[in-house]
Amino acid sequence: MSRKRKEINSNFFSGFLNVDYLSEEDKYIYKKEQHKYKFNVIGAGMIGHEHIKVTMLEGRATIHGIYDLDKKSIDNTKRMFSKNFPEHELVDYQTLADACHDPKVDGLIICTPNYTHLEIVREAVKSGKHILLEKPMATNLKDALEIKELADGYEGIFQIGLQYRYKAIYNESIHEAIERKSIGDIKTISIVEHRVPFLDKVNQWNKFSKYSGGTLVEKCCHYFDLLNLFAQSKPSFVYATGGSAVNFKDFEYKDQKSDIIDHANVNIVYENGVNTNFNLCMFSPMFYEEITICGDEGRLRAYENDDFLPVNRPNTHLEVLSGESKPTRISTPCYPSVIQSSGHNGGTYYEHKYFIDNIEGITTTTATVEEGFWSIVVGIAAEESIKTGKVVYINELLKSIYEEKETVSN
Ligand SMILES: NC(=O)c1ccc[n+]([C@@H]2O[C@H](COP(=O)([O-])OP(=O)(O)OC[C@H]3O[C@@H](n4cnc5c(N)ncnc54)[C@H](O)[C@@H]3O)[C@@H](O)[C@H]2O)c1
């Protein structure tokens, strides 16, 4: 039976069915995608596992090996891999250079803690392989600028792991607000994130600003990326308030006290006048995020809610209200459940699908290094504003970083 690339990825549903009674010759719909690419995962912790599983689910690539410094992470990943993908081998590299330069491998997925990204990228770019670098690209603007320079003109794909834009609610919001212009010209945007505290990590790196960049860089760069995207402009100035009200107030790890914030209100005004804000609370018993966009012809609101309750109701919502000018729409955007439950409500799946499309020369809208940079510019400005109590003007912030860089290189 001849076979072209299929339109449908049978991994979505064949996992639920018994297809073992069919000979390989009789498998057409159920035939597994041939792996065309091999990726290595550098940093096999929480998100490393999500990248491994999603790569295998998407099907055009396979995971060839991992590199990690922590024995528990390595053993845990090997166990997970052999249980889920028994027909595949997993290489356990002994050095970063080995993992980066294995000629059998086409791409590198970097998912180590934020403060290690620069050091790993310096080695990874020597390989010329395609790179998917987790967000935030760095913990500070000096490192971020160096990564930007390393990625400039890079021969392979260099993508940043800002995949929230592919969650169904944001995907549909982009379609309505930007592509269809359903609410007219965008004037104000507000994002809310209410969630449980930061989870435990290997060596608890996310409890310390020097390792993570601070809460507004580490986690909230996702939302600043979305604000940048919807505002369709560059941030002009940022004013933020926030602090540590509940979480990790007594947390100490290896004699260091946690210094991260757990709530904030961040106002960002864009060069085109779009007025935005972001509200964070990390001591809520749920994962909830919401976006409200007001334009001169309507209002869009979308949310995603995982509250762990035994209540049967949709956990996504999108409404586009247009008054008398156009039809109003209310919907529950989602993906097939296998994708929706594969990590970050499907965002990670599409990040991978488009990473491979990028490799194959198909134009996509994945996050560029430039976009990764601007997402942390806002996060760093907001952290700075909370510390000083002052408005942070983005051109002044960037000027000081460029001057510092000049002084160091002279
Ligand atoms: N895009 C997203 O939605 C998303 C979600 C979670 C985490 N992340 C990002 O992914 C990265 C990792 O986060 P995580 O939650 O998986 O953390 P984690 O602590 O669970 O895992 C990190 C892993 O990296 C390993 N590691 C540390 N330093 C290393 C080094 N120098 N070389 C090789 N391995 C090293 C650790 O041993 C650990 O196994 C962070 O940058 C984080 O911000 C992104």
Chain CA centroid to CA 118, Å: 17
Cα 198 to Cα 94: distance, rounded to the nearest angstrom: 30
The answer to whether the CB of 55 falls within 8 A of the CB of 63 is yes
- Neighbouring CB atoms inside 10 A of 307's CB total 13
- Most informative mutation of 134, 160, 206, 223 for ligand 1 (most atoms within 8 A of CB): 134
Total domain count for the chain?
2
CATH number, domain with residue 376: 3.30.360.10
Query: pLDDT at position 243, please?
Result: 98
Domain with 67 in it = 11-160
Q: Is the residue at 150 inside a domain?
A: yes
Strand partners, 186: 295
235 shares a domain with 290: yes
389 shares a domain with 316: yes
Q: Is the residue at 340 inside a domain?
A: yes
Q: Determine if ligand 1 sits within 6 Å of the CB of residue 73.
A: yes
Q: Which of 110, 142, 160 is the last residue of a domain?
A: 160
Cα 77 to Cα 96: distance, rounded to the nearest angstrom: 17
The atom of ligand 1 lying closest to the CA of 74 is: 39
Cα 214 to Cα 126: distance, rounded to the nearest angstrom: 29
Render pLDDT for 316-374 as a digit per residue (tens, 0 to 9).
999 999 998 889 999 999 999 899 999 999 999 999 999 999 999 999 999 999 999 99
Query: pLDDT at position 17, please?
Result: 73
Q: Which of 160, 194, 218 is the last residue of a domain?
A: 160
Q: Determine if ligand 1 sits within 6 Å of the CB of residue 347.
A: no
Name the residue type at position 362. I
97 shares a domain with 243: no
Query: pLDDT at position 406, please?
Result: 77
Q: Determine if ligand 1 sits within 6 Å of the CB of residue 351.
A: no
Q: Which of 160, 180, 203 is the last residue of a domain?
A: 160
Identify the band that residue 1 occupies on the pLDDT scale cut at 50, 70 and 90.
very low
Query: pLDDT at position 387, please?
Result: 98
221 shares a domain with 260: yes
Cα-to-centroid distance, 45 and ligand 1 (Å):
6
Q: Global pTM?
A: 0.96
Cα-to-centroid distance, 111 and ligand 1 (Å):
5
Render pLDDT for 212-222 as a digit per residue (tens, 0 to 9).
999 999 999 99
Query: pLDDT at position 3, please?
Result: 42
Q: Is the residue at 183 inside a domain?
A: yes
Q: Determine if ligand 1 sits within 6 Å of the CB of residue 346.
A: no
Please determine, for residue 2, whether its predicted confidence score (pLDDT) is greater than 50: no
Please determine, for residue 59, whether its predicted confidence score (pLDDT) is greater than 60: yes
Task: Find, among 140, 119, 105, 136, the residue nearest to 69 by Cα.
Answer: 119
Cα 169 to Cα 125: distance, rounded to the nearest angstrom: 34
**Across residues 79-99, what is the average pLDDT?**
97
Please determine, for residue 174, whether its predicted confidence score (pLDDT) is greater than 70: yes
